[in-house]
Chains A and B, each alone.
Chain A
Amino acid sequence: MKPPVFAYHRPDTVEQALALLVEHEDAKPLAGGQSLIPAMNFRLAAPAVLVDLGALEGLRGISTQGNELRIGAMTTHSSVERSPEVARVAPLLAEAMPHIAHPQIRNRGTLGGSLAHADPAAELPAVMLALGARLVLQSAQAERRVAARDFFTGLFATALAPGELVTAIEIAALPAHSGVAFEEFARRHGDFALVGVAAVVTLDEGGRCREARIALLSVGEGPVLAERAVAALHDEQPNPEAIRAAAEAAGTDDIDPPADLHASAAYRRQLARVLTRRALSRAVDRARA
């Protein structure tokens, strides 16, 4: 299990990095490498050129402008996990972080790397979907912003164009009377979840559900927004019955989950129901608090 030969570059600036990606069309950016390097050790991945983003200090760091959180793409999971700003502005993200693999992986793995990789079982894409986050993409020519829901386009597929890099993630704070919760079920702590749910609920003055976003992971080709579940809640008093109905919709109508060794499709639907119900209940409690 030794990786194949590749050419290695470690640019000092984003511009150099983008230039290298243009120059070598078969180049792959190396961020934390915690998904790429195992694939290379198994010789499932054999990129001819690796562009190591490790020296791009400008892409690290967490900052807040007013109600908006900005996280550099090369910020490690551990830094996000430890960040008080993240805990304050995006508690859902903070809650999800410990579920990502193990500390040693989180010390290397990066937010941008995980989002660009877009593994259907990964926590972060679903969380970004639920938070309505924006990704900042940069190419040699231009910088653009893409909403999370438009960024994830399928199985390991994203809106990233060739020669384009994720440089940052922007997350706006949630309005008042909002509550969030993250639930996942994995065989062992740190494994790819069999199903996961990221839920955001915002209530109006009357305590009715004004807005909700429920994103499920590991139930499709990418993170899945549970639209019917949300519809079931909209303008409703989020009482146990309503929540149960929404959870039922999530498990039955919103997803077409695949089967694998660890979970049949039917079991995934069941987990989706249960976890959605649990996540919504917690999110609503928090929104009321």
Chain B
Amino acid sequence: MNGQHTIRVTVNGIRYERSAEPRLLLSDFLRQELGLTGTHVGCEHGVCGACTVLLDGSAVRSCLLFAVQADGHAVTTVEGLSSGDQLHPLQQAFHEAHALQCGFCTPGILLSLIPWLEEHPNPDETEIRAALSGNLCRCTGYANIVTAVQRFAAGAGSR
């Protein structure tokens, strides 16, 4: 079982079948095997959160998962959030609140927040900050990210 393993995984609604070494990290699998380079790699030890994706709907570090572990599961990456230039409402809120600068950490932040906001539709600022605490951003100082989440939550009510 040292060699290649077959990995059948649904990513952003599309079924893929690839074979890969068991040691291939899910982050590298998405970026290199599937060309989904929107998932970024910042630390490869589970601290920065840039590589966060959804596995069966819950946010996980794709650098702390082997691709083989995702076999038979569904993954959502940032590429799966928008349809073309039609942004996901949270992406739109990020744009309007200027919640990103270099944008490198942004995909991981979006994917950490989306399932969390489903469970916490009306978060207060402290809850939002706690939810963000697993994602490092060096550019923004987080303020506008918090604002974006607040706007999204406010808007979500009306949607």
Contact = CB atoms under 8 A, between A and B. Distances in A.
Question: In the complex, A touching B, CB below 8 Å?
Answer: yes
Given A104-B59, A105-B134, A54 B116 contact: no
A156 interface: no
Interface residues of A, number: 33
Chain B contact residues: helix, strand, loop or mixed = mixed
**What bracket does the count of chain B residues touching chain A fall in?**
20 to 34
A8 B1 contact: yes
Contact of B22 (A38, A50, A78): A50
A3 B25 CA distance: 8
Interface in B8-67: 21-23, 25, 28, 44-46, 49, 52, 55, 58-61, 63-66
Given A2-B25, A8-B5, A54-B69, A38 B64 contact: yes
Nearest to A4: B23
B63 A6 contact: no
Contacts of B69: 30, 33, 52, 54
Contact of B68 (A10, A102, A103): A10
Nearest to A98: B130
Contacts, number: 90
Contacts of A102: 49, 133-134
Nearest to A36: B64
B106 interface: no
Nearest to B111: A104
A7 B112 contact: no
Interface string A222-236: 000000000000000
A103 B112 contact: yes
A86 to B, nearest CB: 17
Nearest to A76: B58
A144 interface: no
A9 B23 CA distance: 12
A108 B22 contact: no
B45 A34 contact: no
6 contacts: A10-B71, A41-B45, A54-B69, A98-B130, A101-B134, A104-B52
Interface of B: 1-2, 5, 21-23, 25, 28, 44-46, 49, 52, 55, 58-61, 63-66, 68-69, 71, 112, 116, 130-131, 133-134
Interface of A: 1-10, 30, 33-34, 37-38, 40-42, 50, 52, 54, 78, 98, 101-105, 107-108, 188-190
